[in-house]
Amino acid sequence: MSTYELRITPPQLPRTLRGRGASPITRDVLTEQLTDAVISELVENGYRDYRLRLELARESHVDALNEVLTVVQRLGYAEINGTISEWTSRTVETAVAGAFGGGGTAALTSRDVWISTIFGFAGMVLGAIVGSELRRVEKVYRVQLTASGWQFAEVPREQWSPRPVPQPA
């Protein structure tokens, strides 16, 4: 799953004429046309400039961006740019931590191999369940639509802005 934080603007015209031919973008229009999209933010910044934050699961970022672009072009918008955050779940690391935590605690208190094994397995299962709900950012890209197509630039980890972790739907 990826989070797309996009700025959507109408064609570049003088500020006084900007957005006159563009229809308003609404959550209803987007969710109707973007199947399984989870929209967490849609804000109009003025002059029909929108800030959109949504989660989409597609084969590639190009597929997702083309799908969003097609929808907003029908409404009269021409430009999209922003960032993409790729998320991964923390299932494996929390399962391992749970196994060591449960098994280690049982080993210290009971000194019985079977009890340690049972508690280690229970800790692993509990850790996997908790970890499947936790996510972390793996990569962040800046994206811009140009005449030659989508341009992607990976953002170095030290330049990532802090963002709230979106919860799975």
| Same-domain status, 126 and 141 | no
| Same-domain status, 10 and 67 | yes
- Over residues 47-56, the pLDDT tens digits come to 778 899 998 8
| Same-domain status, 16 and 31 | yes
Can you tell me the distance from the alpha carbon of 131 to that of 138, in angstroms, rounded to the nearest whole number? 15
Q: C-alpha distances in angstroms, 52 versus 6, 97, 137, 159?
A: 5, 36, 19, 21
Domain that holds residue 103: 91-132
Structural domain contains residue 115:
yes
| Same-domain status, 31 and 78 | yes
- Over residues 111-145, the pLDDT tens digits come to 777 877 888 788 888 777 777 766 677 788 888 88
In the prediction, which pLDDT does 158 show? 78
What is the number of structural domains in the chain? Answer: 2
In the prediction, which pLDDT does 86 show? 80
In the prediction, which pLDDT does 16 show? 47
| Same-domain status, 75 and 155 | yes
Structural domain contains residue 125:
yes
In the prediction, which pLDDT does 85 show? 84
Structural domain contains residue 169:
no
In the prediction, which pLDDT does 19 show? 46
Place of tokens 């919860």: 167
In the prediction, which pLDDT does 75 show? 86
In the prediction, which pLDDT does 161 show? 65
Structural domain contains residue 164:
no
| Same-domain status, 24 and 39 | yes
In the prediction, which pLDDT does 14 show? 45
User: With a cut of 50, which residues of the chain have pLDDT below it?
Assistant: 14-19, 164-169
In the prediction, which pLDDT does 18 show? 45
